[in-house]
Amino acid sequence: MKIAIGADHAGYRLKDVIVPYLQSLGHELMDVGCDCDVSVDYSDYSIPVCEKVVNGEAERGILICGTGIGMSIAANKTRGIRCALVHDMFTAKATREHNDTNVLAMGERIIGPGVAQEIVRIWLETPFSHAERHQNRINKVMAIEASQASQA
């Protein structure tokens, strides 16, 4: 799978664990940075990842900051992105089955590398359930995006 990944200064160390892990599973990673401790703004890294997902260059996106909160808020401003902030295996699976999320956010300050690796593996492997009730709910969320975009 083609996966875009980005992090801020508080998340790049975890990104540098996740990238080789996913490559070892056969995935193709597009790493947009950052790569050092210099303080940066998480939205500067969420935008290129989300753009790659929306324009089809990447099938999924992964974003990491200190808490994952800033990255998830920023990602969900991009039309077509459904980003979930995940720190456990149950919600990693549930957000794919129920929400068909295309971007995953995590916080390097919240979880360790072992849990993060399991989360990304489960999140990438779990298909959307295609249950009608879940699809209807996603359609309603997408309708909100479309109506707000037309008012802008």
Annotated binding site: 8-9, 66-70, 99, 109, 133, 137
Nearest-approach distance from CB 87 to ligand RB5, in angstroms: 13
Residue 10 binds to ligand RB5 (criterion: CB under 6 A): yes
Q: Which two tokens stand for residue 54?
A: 């929306």
Residue 42 lies near ligand RB5 (rule: CB under 6 A): yes
98 has catalytic annotation = yes
Contact between 123 and ligand RB5 per CB under 6 A: no
CB of 115 to ligand RB5, least distance (A): 17
Cβ contacts of 50 within 8 Å, gap of 6 or more: 61, 75, 78, 81, 83, 103
CA distance 83 to 105: 7
Does residue 69 bind ligand RB5 (CB under 6 A)? yes
DSSP 37: S
- Identify which of 59, 134, 63 has the alpha carbon closest to the alpha carbon of residue 97: 134
User: Beta-carbon neighbour count of residue 115 at 10 Å?
Assistant: 15
Verify whether residue 65 is a known catalytic residue: yes
Q: Is 46 in the site for ligand RB5 (CB under 6 A)?
A: no
Q: Which residues are catalytic?
A: 65, 98
Residues that bind ligand RB5 (CB under 6 A): 8, 10, 42, 65-67, 69-70
